[in-house]
Amino acid sequence: MFGTTVFGMVAEVKMEQARQLLLSGEKNISEVSDLTRYSHQAHFTRTFKKKFGVPPREYVKYPC
């Protein structure tokens, strides 16, 4: 928790929420992007890949 900004913490929470939503299988990538308040799916995909090492589509197929 220390050593990060409020923006950084918000981003961490959003990505964890996105990961959980994708793993549940109840929402598709576009819906998860919207629910986590990303205005563009491409930005969501880039951010997800940066955090988890794979794009959301691959993560859904082969969860870590």
Burial class (CB in 10 A: 0-12, 13-18, 19+), 49: middle
**Dist CA 58 CA 37 (whole Å):** 21
> How sure is the predictor about 64, in pLDDT bands with cuts at 50, 70 and 90?
low
Asked if residue 1 belongs to a domain, the reply is no
Q: Work out how many domains the chain is built from and give that number.
A: 1
* Greater pLDDT, 54 or 61: 54
Provide the token pair at 51: 């955090």
Give the CATH number for residue 38: 1.10.10.60
Q: Tell me which H or E stretch contains 7.
A: helix 6-24
**For the segment 5-52, what is each residue's pLDDT rounded down to a tens digit?**
999 999 999 999 999 999 999 999 999 999 999 999 999 999 999 999
pLDDT of 1 reads 58
Q: What angle do CA 43, 41, 6 make, to 5 degrees?
A: 50
CB atoms within 10 A of CB 57: 13
Structural domain harbouring 37: 6-61
pTM of the model: 0.86
